[in-house]
Amino acid sequence: MASVVASSPISFAASFLKRKSFPFSPRFFPIRTLRCSLSSSEPSLEFDISFAPPKPKSSSTHGGAASQQQLYIPWIVRSDDGTLKLQSQPPATLIHALAVDATTQNPKKKDKPKKKQPQAKSSTATASASASSPPSQSVPKLSKAARRFYNENFKEPPQRLSKVLAAAGVASRRTSEELIFDGKVTVNGTVCNIPQTRVDPTKDIIYVNGNRIPKKLPPKVYFALNKPKGYICSSGEKETKSVISLFDDYLSSWDKRNPGTPKPRLFTVGRLDVATTGLIVVTNDGDFAQKLSHPSSSLPKEYITTVVGDVHKRHLMAISEGTMVEGVKCVPDSVELMPKQHDIPRARLRIVVHEGRNHEVRELVKNAGLEVHSLKRVRIGGFRLPSDLGLGNHMELKQSELKALGWKN
């Protein structure tokens, strides 16, 4: 006889069900009837629980384990009138409790049907579908890459007023800010004195000195120029020998090649002094110029320096140790004495720096006790000046060449 306490029949049944195996079965249990006595505050009750009788040994060999009858599990529950009774099915309260327990312990199972939803094939299709869907339906969230692709190719976000004026070719960004402060710029008929005002040239009406800027901004262009000696890296109109003047032929034929599109306002990325030749990047993209010229980019810049006199080991050691330039200690990445050539009798040095400070290479050579005869920049980042690009000529940069310069957009 087994004694069972009926104070919590649901917890007892739940623990009984969760067991992986039962301690008895009809095949091994020696008796056919189990008498249970439930002790509670009520008078003692007894139930006779019968199990399926075991099969003969001869039938078990032919039928196997599948032919054996299942164990009869009784459920002792309290009815509505308060009496205890024996039934073959689990009580409804137990089934409900087990279902709630399984739901709280496995909340991730609810997310499985969401994976079956088809993803949007393109950002434009998703954007159009979300626009046409009623507000009650939830709009699917786009990934960061999809939103960036949509903004770059389909939607131009509002930009600062000074940046829009500079991109439209009105003036440089600093000069554009001065025009805004002087009250010479109006946006939608109202004078705007804040350069940080966000505007959309395709929707907003912008006037500068009574002239309206075009709705369509010029495209972004990127050039590599082999700067000659005697040219200044300035876009001022008063400069007669500016680097930008080397693009006069390109800008004069702009309307024929790009009808209806405003001309870009070109400027140099960084500067080379008037006596230095070689590679310099010209563009109308302010973000690109800031990325390349900012010290955090740490782009290596390679120079070929022709010096006066002989170069010894002490000179190379002095250049490698660095010097103070504009109050900052500048140390080159590498210094190398190049082999002499028959057509160039002077000694040449290959110096690689990443600071990019004003006259940095000249100060390094001067601090070592040498005199610079000529200086030429031949590489910025991973882009090297083509050998067939003559002095004063320029070439338009491709996407792969922009990546070599460190531009990822």
- All domains of the chain, ordered by start, with CATH? 2-98 (no CATH), 159-212 (3.10.290.10), 300-380 (3.30.70.1560)
Q: How confident is the model at residue 38, as a pLDDT?
A: 53
Distance separating alpha carbons of residues 130 and 123, to the nearest angstrom = 10
Q: Is the pLDDT of residue 381 over 80?
A: yes
Closest CA to 288 of 197, 382, 384, 167: 167
Query: Which two three-digit tokens encode residue 350?
Result: 């290959």
Q: How confident is the model at residue 138, as a pLDDT?
A: 54
Q: How confident is the model at residue 134, as a pLDDT?
A: 46
- Asked if residue 157 lies in contact with residue 203, where contact means CB atoms within 8 angstroms, the answer is no
CA geometry: angle at 309 spanning 304 and 312, to 5°? 80
Q: Supply the pTM of this predicted model.
A: 0.58
Q: How confident is the model at residue 30, as a pLDDT?
A: 44
The number of C-alpha atoms within 13 Å of 146 and in the hemisphere containing its C-beta is: 13
Distance separating alpha carbons of residues 164 and 208, to the nearest angstrom = 12
Q: Which helix (H) or strand (E) holds 124?
A: helix 123-132
**Residue 182 among the catalytic residues:** no
Distance separating alpha carbons of residues 140 and 115, to the nearest angstrom = 13
Q: Is the pLDDT of residue 213 over 70?
A: yes
| Of 140-144, 166-170, 226-230, 380-384, minimum mean pLDDT range | 140-144
3-state secondary structure of 375: strand
Q: How confident is the model at residue 303, as a pLDDT?
A: 96
Closest CA to 9 of 35, 31, 29, 36: 36
Residue 379 has a CB neighbour count (10 Å cut-off) of: 19
Q: How confident is the model at residue 150 (pLDDT cuts 50, 70, 90)?
A: low
| Of 23-32, 156-165, 380-389, minimum mean pLDDT range | 23-32
Q: How confident is the model at residue 77, as a pLDDT?
A: 74
Which residue in the list 48, 200, 273, 287 is annotated as catalytic? 273
Q: How confident is the model at residue 125 (pLDDT cuts 50, 70, 90)?
A: very low
Q: Is the pLDDT of residue 61 over 70?
A: no
Residue 268 has a CB neighbour count (10 Å cut-off) of: 22
Query: Which two three-digit tokens encode residue 266?
Result: 């070109």
Q: How confident is the model at residue 91 (pLDDT cuts 50, 70, 90)?
A: confident
Per-residue pLDDT tens for 248-306? 999 999 989 888 888 888 999 988 999 999 999 999 988 888 888 877 778 899 999 99
Average of per-residue pLDDT across 12-40: 47
Q: How confident is the model at residue 81, as a pLDDT?
A: 75
Mean pLDDT of the chain: 76
What is the chain's Cα-based Rg? 42
Average of per-residue pLDDT across 115-127: 46
* β 371-380/277-283 pair status: parallel
Distance separating alpha carbons of residues 375 and 163, to the nearest angstrom = 34
Q: Is the pLDDT of residue 4 over 70?
A: no
